[in-house]
């Protein structure tokens, strides 16, 4: 087991795990100073490419972004999402996880759960690639957004799934949009850390999409804390630049590369 993975495991019940998404080098470089885990999430399908869901993002596209992210990472654990359809059988999963690992130099892959892929996790782990699980609202498999775990039957299903994923060998698990009660029970039951998104303070760590935190994406559900409105900052900057060009305030002689 790598030192980076050990470090994440050791935080359980001691220190909260900080995680955000990155899709490119410059952002990754900033996150690397403050995050334990940086995820190249398939959310880039919606956030960057304007797709209506994550279903059609290609493996090659995620790999390209991960190669860029890797250039900004020194100390945090870099996890890459496996896109929908790239891990539908154990054989395919191993082939693609190895490809992601080799091409990007990441530390782990993440796969969403559809209640059937604990075998896939086991096989990727056997191939010596650390895997992060993901349960609750899993956008690759669920169309409609809803909070899970309100009813007993669904709560039990989530608990069972989380335990199966741990048993299969995942080193941590994302809990997306499940009830505080479900997050509390699962975080207590599992030995591996739980990383929550929209799943309350009871998780061992938290993850958010960086563009949401920065106020860039225009997506502000209750579970997101928007720390800054980058959209408005960028707009103000671009407006100023546009005015400067039109009024001939930019470039000035100071900006000339040669001569006067």
Q: Which residues bind ligand KIV (CB under 6 A)?
A: 21, 39, 41-43, 81, 174, 197, 207, 209
C-beta of 41 vs 185, nearer to ligand KIV: 41
How is residue 241 annotated by DSSP?
Answer: H
Minimum distance from CB of 249 to ligand KIV (Å)?
A: 40
C-beta of 88 vs 250, nearer to ligand KIV: 88
Contacts of 135 (CB under 8 A, 6+ apart): 112, 113, 158, 161, 162, 165, 173, 174, 175, 176, 178
Minimum distance from CB of 176 to ligand KIV (Å)?
A: 6
Nearest to 21 by CA among 225, 209, 220: 209
SS3 state of residue 178: strand
Block residue for tokens 């799943």: 199
Nearest-CB residue to ligand KIV? 41
Q: For residue 251, is the peptide bond before it cis, meaning its omega torsion is within 30 degrees of 0?
A: yes
C-beta of 64 vs 250, nearer to ligand KIV: 64
Minimum distance from CB of 211 to ligand KIV (Å)?
A: 10
Cβ–Cβ under 8 Å, residues 41 and 80: no
Pairing of the two strands 131-136 and 205-208: unpaired
C-beta of 113 vs 118, nearer to ligand KIV: 113
Catalytic residue annotation: 176
């Amino acid at each position: 087991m790598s030192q980076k993975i050990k470090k994440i495991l050791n935080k359980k019940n001691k220190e909260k795990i900080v995680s955000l998404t990155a899709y490119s080098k410059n952002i990754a470089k900033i996150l690397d100073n403050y995050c334990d885990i940086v995820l190249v999430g398939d959310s880039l399908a919606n956030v960057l490419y304007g797709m209506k869901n994550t279903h059609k993002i290609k493996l090659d596209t995620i790999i390209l972004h991960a190669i860029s992210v890797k250039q900004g990472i020194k100390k945090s654990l870099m996890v890459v999402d496996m896109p929908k359809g790239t891990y539908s059988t154990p054989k395919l999963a191993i082939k693609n996880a190895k490809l992601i690992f080799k091409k990007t130099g990441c530390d782990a892959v993440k796969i969403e759960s559809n209640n059937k892929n604990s075998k896939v996790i086991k096989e990727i782990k056997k191939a010596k690639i650390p895997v992060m699980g993901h349960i609750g609202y899993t956008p690759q498999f669920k169309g409609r957004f809803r909070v899970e775990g309100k009813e007993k039957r669904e709560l039990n299903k989530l608990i069972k799934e989380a335990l199966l994923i741990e048993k299969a060998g995942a080193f941590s698990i994302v809990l997306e949009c499940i009830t505080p009660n479900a997050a509390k029970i699962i975080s207590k039951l599992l030995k591996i850390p739980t990383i929550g998104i929209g799943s309350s303070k009871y998780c061992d760590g938290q993850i958010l999409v960086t563009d949401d935190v920065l106020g860039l994406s225009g997506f502000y559900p209750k579970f997101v804390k928007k720390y800054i409105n980058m959209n408005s900052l960028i707009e103000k900057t671009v407006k100023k630049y546009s005015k400067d060009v039109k009024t001939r305030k930019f470039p000035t002689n100071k900006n000339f590369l040669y001569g006067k």
